[in-house]
Amino acid sequence: MFGIPPGVYTYAATMSGTPVGTSTLTVKNVGGTTVIEERVTGQLSGASASASDTLVLGADLSPLSYAMNATQDGSPLKDAAKVDGATATVTNVHGRAGAFGLPVGAKHFVVSDFGLFSGLLALPAQMQAWNRSPFLVVVPEIGRAAQLAPDASTTPQRPAGVPAADLPIVFSGDAPFTIWYDPATNLPDYIDVSAQGLTVVRQR
pLDDT of residue 47: 64
- List pLDDT tens digits, range 4-59: 999 999 999 998 888 889 999 999 999 999 999 999 998 655 667 899 999 999 99
Give the span between the Cα atoms of 122 and 131, in whole angstroms: 14
Q: Are the C-beta atoms of 13 and 24 separated by less than 8 Å?
A: no
Q: What is the pLDDT of residue 1?
A: 46
Query: Tell me: the pLDDT tens digits for 81-92?
Result: 999 999 999 999
Burial of 182 (0-12, 13-18, 19+ CB in 10 A): middle
Q: 141-179: per-residue pLDDT in tens?
A: 999 999 998 998 988 999 999 999 999 999 976 678 999
Q: What does the pLDDT average to over 54-79?
A: 93
The span from the CA of 108 to the CA of 147, in Å, is 10
User: With pLDDT > 70 as the criterion, what percentage of the chain qualifies?
Assistant: 96
State the chain's mean pLDDT as an integer: 92
Q: Residue 16: count other Cβ atoms within 10 Å of its Cβ.
A: 9
Domains of the chain, residue spans: 7-203
Q: How confident is the model at residue 115, as a pLDDT?
A: 85
DSSP codes of every residue in 31-74: TTEEEEEEEEEEEETTEEEEEEEEEEE-TTS-EEEEEEEEEETT
Of 85, 78, 96, 93, nearest to 63 by C-alpha is: 85
**pLDDT greater at residue 65 or residue 171:** 65
The pLDDT, as a whole number, for residue 73 is 78
pTM of the model: 0.93
